[in-house]
Structure 1
């Protein structure tokens, strides 16, 4: 007689890791940049400001690892989601319909959040949720395939995306730089072969000049000020595939030690490969357009961070220490929406009902730490209330 499939056990380290990156995102309200500017002699606040900001183009800060971590964890969660639904007896057709609904909601929710406080819908597809939604159907399909097929798919994605950029022509001597929002003497421009991945003169930028103008807009789309692009969902899918592989390893693991070594080794190899590709100029490491090198480099960090949380939380059994973080990680969609919707409302409520200058009791220098801390606390209390009521937003 065939044994019934058991429901997969929830891994606390995954919720902790997810909560950690969501808190990093929500902590933008602390605005370390304001404090660093007010205290220019402080290397401490300058360091924190750097790691709460995105690097201009090539490179990486802690803040740059938020989106790949969140994306990676979508892949980690998929094997558990599939197993849970199969245990409940859902058919393959139902799973596909549910997945398509989820992908569509993520895309539309991303567009909605980017359209807030605008006179009309802002059809843009570089938001984290939108990028995940665009790639999710392909990730779902790979979830039913063998690890070998998943690795091959990852290689095809990254090599194919690299070729798209490498074959796109570089700007000529008569190129109109005003159409890109990037001056010709921008200090972060790349030279030589790496120039194929320059800001707003690359293949993804050209695609968006065509694609985004298919939608109604206040004015024609010329460029994204940050250099972000719709087509980044393709290498972002690569990050989700890496997470899928890691999730399968965790789900199928019978011993913690070998799994930990596997995660650490994979992370180290991916980091090394990403470093070499960037150093050689063959493919620069740019988060904003999610170059193949960035997929590998940030994926390496994701494996190492997951390994770290797995060791500390699950192997050392310290879940109680991380309870405040787990509360956020178990309701990540709610946390994401809160971070993009109620910040101003919370701040204004305190100014109306407490004191218009409630955030100045430590002086102007630390003003953002006070109001940002208040906003973070209120957001966490909302998530804690949802946790106690077992209200978890699932898409």
Structure 2
């Protein structure tokens, strides 16, 4: 892990060439991270303080489905992993074209993946030593690290598109077959409950420490298998956007993305009839549904920013996207809420309760964004 203050230095794998070559990717990454960083609290606070029906509806959309089903908020995490895949053809592909050895690239890819696993452990457990039995090892960062790592290695060592598609299909079909056909002791085969799923059983059997839901972890080891397919969907999209062949026209690329996203949604929702859409299990149907929406979001941002060149509005999100991993972990070590109260509590005290509550959330987000903007102006970015 390193920081950089040189604008001309070569981007690392965590923030690769698309930072300059694909503006829409950083904007979309920042848009995604905005909600992770606290943006969803705007609707929760509005619902709580006003009782407005539309606020309750929006607040519900920014919560996770308890088990089976899908809401927009369930797409936040897979969208981030998907974008890590989109950046791969720009970062790894450009280095391959310059003659960098595959072994060197593989070493960097694996190192980055393992660093993210370690950062995830620190994020979950802090810097102080805990008994292993009290530590949680799976994490969002670990899933991004491992799934992204294997997706990049497939891209690196299996350059034939047909083979990459075979990997994609094999991961989803193989996971489906395993979850449906392999029996779990005391439960049998194909029982997709929190207590009886194969994913939960494998994680309980092999992972040290504690699981997030005691008997199951939504970022567990076994369900990382279909998450690799999420990264591959991003890689396929990135290859299209970087291509110079018949689809080089940007409007055509946007259309292909839209068609690809719709196809994933149709297949995913259809598959969900027999293999439920479930984020906790990262089912194959969930992979396709979340991937389909992710592709459509990328198409929208790409069309507006890179095709139509309407990009001024995206600067707010680009600042966040340039340091997305940093702002994700910074809240564990920086008290942004205290800073927000210090700077804005006096002003907010003159307003009514609903305005104070919403204003407190906006102040919290403003302090975070100001912190990122300062780093952006200083050209300081967290690299992994």
Shorter-normalised TM range: 0.7 to 0.9
Q: Out of 203, 226, 232, which is 2:198 matched to?
A: 203
Q: Give 1:80 shift.
A: 0.8
Q: Which residue of 1 aligns with 2:221?
A: 230
Q: Which residue of 1 aligns with 2:11?
A: none
The answer to which of 82-91 and 129-138 deviates more is 82-91
RMSD in angstroms over aligned alpha carbons?
2.8
Is residue 163 of structure 1 aligned with residue 177 of structure 2? Answer: yes
Could you list the runs of 5+ residues in structure 1 that have no partner in the other structure?
1-6, 176-192
CA distance in 1, matches of 2:258, 2:303: 11
Q: Which residue of 2 aligns with 1:103?
A: 113
Contact 1:338 1:379 in 2 (8 A): no
Q: How does 1:1-395 map to 2 (within 5 A)?
A: 10-28=21-39, 30=41, 32-40=43-51, 42-86=52-96, 90-116=100-126, 120=130, 123-144=135-156, 145-169=159-183, 196-212=191-207, 214-215=208-209, 222-224=214-216, 228-253=219-244, 254-278=248-272, 280=273, 282-342=274-334, 345-351=335-341, 353=342, 361-395=350-384
Contact 1:30 1:368 in 2 (8 A): no
Cα displacement string for residues 128-182 of structure 1 (whole angstroms, at most 9, x for unaligned residues): 210021223321221132211111001111111111210244786xx7xxxxxxx
The answer to which of 131-140 and 242-251 deviates more is 131-140
Give the TM-score taking structure 2 as reference length: 0.85
CA distance in 2, matches of 1:170, 1:97: 36
Could you list the runs of 5+ residues in structure 2 that have no partner in the other structure?
1-16
CA distance in 2, matches of 1:257, 1:34: 40
Assess, with a 3 A threshold, how the Cα gap between structure 1 residues 207 and 272 changes in structure 2: closer, same or farther: same
Q: Which residue of 2 aligns with 1:181?
A: none
CA distance in 2, matches of 1:196, 1:85: 45
Q: Give 1:227 shift.
A: 5.2
Cα displacement string for residues 168-209 of structure 1 (whole angstroms, at most 9, x for unaligned residues): 44786xx7xxxxxxxxxxxxxxxxx9x722223201111121
The answer to which of 366-375 and 10-19 deviates more is 366-375
Contact 1:28 1:52 in 2 (8 A): no
1:393 partner SS: strand
CA distance in 1, matches of 2:84, 2:254: 20
- Give the number of aligned pairs: 360
Q: Give 1:371 shift.
A: 2.2
Q: Give 1:293 shift.
A: 0.3
Q: Give 1:373 shift.
A: 1.3
Contact 1:16 1:325 in 2 (8 A): yes
Cα displacement string for residues 25-82 of structure 1 (whole angstroms, at most 9, x for unaligned residues): 1125735334323433x11210221122111122222211111110000000011111
CA distance in 1, matches of 2:54, 2:331: 25
CA distance in 2, matches of 1:246, 1:99: 19
1:143 partner SS: helix
CA distance in 2, matches of 1:381, 1:267: 34
CA distance in 2, matches of 1:392, 1:350: 23
Assess, with a 3 A threshold, how the Cα gap between structure 1 residues 266 and 220 changes in structure 2: closer, same or farther: closer
Q: Give 1:393 shift.
A: 1.3
Q: Give 1:264 shift.
A: 0.6
CA distance in 2, matches of 1:310, 1:57: 32
Give the TM-score taking structure 1 as reference length: 0.82
Assess, with a 3 A threshold, how the Cα gap between structure 1 residues 243 and 372 changes in structure 2: closer, same or farther: same
Contact 2:179 2:198 in 1 (8 A): yes
Contact 1:22 1:332 in 2 (8 A): yes
